[in-house]
Amino acid sequence: MKWDTSLYDQKHSFVTKYGEDLLSLLDAKSGERILDVGCGSGHLTKQIADAGADVVGLDSSPEMIATAQAAYPAINFLVADASDFSFDQPLDAIFSNAALHWVQRAEAAIICMARALKPGGRFVVEMGGKGNIAGIATALERAIRNQHGREAKATNYFPAVGEYSSLLEKHGIEVASALLFDRPTKLEGGEDGLENWIKMFRRELVIGFSEEEQQAIFAEVKTALRERLFRDGLWFADYRRLRIVAFKQ
């Protein structure tokens, strides 16, 4: 997926804001070696560095890493696939916010992360969980099917608590807490918030349509979701988060 990094930062800053909450769970300490998996434009990586940790930000998107590196030149950023990486020196902690649901080879990613952690090292992660954006996904797929007779499916990975915890435990990461919870997420842009979100995060499903066709799809999606996801002039994405704190055995 190719990211428009400035649009990402301007209109979707909630990704970073919610991540700050997760940072307090990470509780990074001075001198610790920490990996931020799926670091995006690097704002949370910077906060980990500010705690005094020796942090590396990893992301598969060269655009994101270029943006992060330009903003924070003193931090070590790396273009790499979360399901295919290794480090020579063991890590004290792995942190990841709103990223692992983009990784299709979830078990391969867990194997890499488990190998990279030192014994007792912590794993503090939040991602989309089972049922994440189910309303938006269904409405969008239905509108494309109704208007163009085409099946359009996005390929995120939104695991259940048991599924992801079992995978972690299979690879020697013991789960201390795992929580699946709803987080209705306010989208910036008022009436345009939902279509901005679709254009950013479901670009691959709508990019092939003309502007007029896209507007017709957005109109059907909005009609289907307005009662559930629109309040006081704002759209809310039906996010469900899976938050895990775990330790390498």
Interface contacts to ligand BEZ, rule CB under 6 A = 98, 101, 128, 132-133, 156, 201, 239
Q: Which is nearer to ligand BEZ, 53 or 237 (CB)?
A: 237
- Cβ contacts of 239 within 8 Å, gap of 6 or more: 128, 132, 133, 182, 183, 184, 185
Name the token pair of 209.
Answer: 């349509």
Q: Which is nearer to ligand BEZ, 43 or 101 (CB)?
A: 101
Residue nearest to ligand BEZ (CB): 128
Instruction: Give the residue among 45, 172, 44 at the shortest CA–CA distance from 116.
Output: 172
Rounded CA-CA distance 167/148 in Å is: 38
Q: Which is nearer to ligand BEZ, 95 or 239 (CB)?
A: 239
Q: Which is nearer to ligand BEZ, 85 or 201 (CB)?
A: 201
Minimum CB distance to ligand BEZ, residue 4 (Å): 13
Let me know: does 162 contact 129? Beta carbons within 8 Å.
no
Let me know: does 30 contact 12? Beta carbons within 8 Å.
no
Minimum CB distance to ligand BEZ, residue 101 (Å): 6
Minimum CB distance to ligand BEZ, residue 52 (Å): 28
Minimum CB distance to ligand BEZ, residue 172 (Å): 27
Q: Which is nearer to ligand BEZ, 92 or 238 (CB)?
A: 238
Minimum CB distance to ligand BEZ, residue 88 (Å): 31
